Chain A
Amino acid sequence: EDQVTQSPEALRLQEGESSSLNCSYTVSGLRGLFWYRQDPGKGPEFLFTLYSAGEEKEKERLKATLTKKESFLHITAPKPEDSATYLCAVQAANYGQNFVFGPGTRLSVLP
């Protein structure tokens, strides 16, 4: 059965304290893995698309990496404005345009 898990469920960091979020997936025929950021009461905001193992994408303090079984979102020197829920989603070959989302990691960055 295809599934996406994320860890940790919640993470509290001090400003400037770097860390990584994990997204593990089991899916037949991965077409793409996507990272989103969601603020309370808002829709998810697109961050990255990753297609193949070894691929990396960067944006400001965020870097996403992909292996055959998992993806990491590395946050370098986070700021309080990075506080949000980070969601990963997979698109499989037999899903069409359907995404399967993980439960998310709730990140809090304290000043």
Chain B
Amino acid sequence: KAGVTQTPRYLIKTRGQQVTLSCSPISGHRSVSWYQQTPGQGLQFLFEYFSETQRNKGNFPGRFSGRQFSNSRSEMNVSTLELGDSALYLCASSSLPLPGQNYEQYFGPGTRLTVT
């Protein structure tokens, strides 16, 4: 079974630009979550989508947005980039566990965004 894939793996953008990152979850997984990871703040939750609906949102400004498509693939967009947006952006997918199964969330390799 293929894992979570994220594209692109690396991006360099200039302040003020916008960027779109893509995530393809594990086949059959309908929940996709996005996280930002920085050395200072660690892993922080951005938002989670399930069946094309945003179910949960972290404490990030409105410049950060996302969406999910009918095939569960997800994109996140950051507008008006700031230097502080430089980070590793991670996508994770999960499925609703069946009775007796554990909940498990699997991460992709991340997109390294550098804002100059």
- Which A residues are closer than 8 A to B by beta carbons? 31-32, 34, 36, 41-46, 49, 51, 87, 89, 91, 95-104
Contacts and interface: CB of A to CB of B under 8 A. Distances in A.
Given A97-B50, A104-B42, A45 B107 contact: yes
Most buried by B among A44, A95, A103: A44
Nearest to B56: A96
Interface in B37-58: 42-45, 48, 50, 55-56, 58
B33 A44 contact: no
17 contacts: A31-B103, A41-B110, A42-B109, A43-B107, A43-B109, A44-B90, A45-B107, A46-B107, A87-B43, A89-B43, A96-B55, A97-B50, A97-B56, A98-B58, A99-B45, A101-B43, A103-B42
Contacts of B50: 97
B4 interface: yes
Mostly, the B contact residues are: strand
Contact of B42 (A32, A42, A98, A102): A102
Given A43-B4, A98-B45, A104-B42, A49 B104 contact: yes
Contacts of B102: 32, 49, 51
Interface residues of B, number: 26
A106 to B, nearest CB: 11
Contacts of A45: 107
Contact of B48 (A41, A89, A98, A102): A98
Contacts of B109: 42-43
Interface in B3-25: 4
B106 interface: yes
A43 to B, nearest CB: 4
Contacts of B107: 36, 43-46
Contacts of A99: 33, 43, 45, 105
Given A43-B90, A49-B103, A102-B42, A96 B108 contact: no
